[in-house]
Amino acid sequence: MGLDFTAAGVAVDEQQWAGEAADVMVVRLAIEKARAAECAPGTVIIGADTAVVLDREVFGKPRDEADGLRMLAALSGHRHEVMTGVAVCSDGGVQSALSVTAVKFREIGPDEALEYWQSGEPADKAGAYAIQGLAGAFVEDVIGSYTGVVGLPVLETARLLQLAGIEPRAALKDEL
């Protein structure tokens, strides 16, 4: 988007609260991440969080190989939702948005899932996959925001940045 930025991580407990819906959780965590970065006057902080949801079960980052392979087996041949919350903290406060995208996976065999796990790519990804990487070969179709699945929905982020007084690249402006 033509922005000059610095990337930094923050320590936030990413656990889902009891009874908390996935869409509420990702927006809450995005806000917590933006606030945890100590939004000082004159700065703009972006926070985001992504979850993969299949039949109301939230798939966060896999705990280990067995958990990652379980997630990939569950997603195999099914349509699931990827929910990404994004928040922008600025002098005007914190604004947030939600991106929800439907993704359909083809059937993934156990050997293929194991080979993918052993690539190292899915170990720190919600739902144990990265659509922009090797797992792109598993995807039959995407309905919604591809960038939301990657982890930062560009359209929603650009709109929030505009509310914070930051103009994304002029080429993107006409799309907003």
Which secondary structure element, helix H or strand E, spans residue 143, and what is its range?
Answer: strand 139-143
Query: HSE (CB half, 13 Å, CA atoms) of 76?
Result: 15
Q: What distances in angstroms separate CA 141 from CA 7, 23, 56, 151, one per listed residue?
A: 31, 21, 20, 17
Would you kindly state where each structural domain of the chain is located, as residue ranges?
22-164
pLDDT, tens digit, 9 for 90 and up, residues 70-84: 999 999 999 999 999
The distance between the two most distant Cα atoms of the chain, rounded to a whole number of Å, is: 52
> Among all residues, which ones are annotated catalytic?
49
Which two tokens mark 40? 């000082």
Query: Looking at the domain 22-164, which fold is it?
Result: Maf protein (3.90.950)
Confidence of residue 8 (pLDDT cuts 50, 70, 90): confident
d(CA 8, CA 61) in angstroms, rounded, equals 19
User: Cβ distance 130 to 166 under 8 Å?
Assistant: no
Confidence of residue 173 (pLDDT cuts 50, 70, 90): low
Mean pLDDT, residues 150-164 taken together: 95
pLDDT, tens digit, 9 for 90 and up, residues 22-67: 999 999 999 999 999 888 888 999 999 999 999 999 999 999 999 9
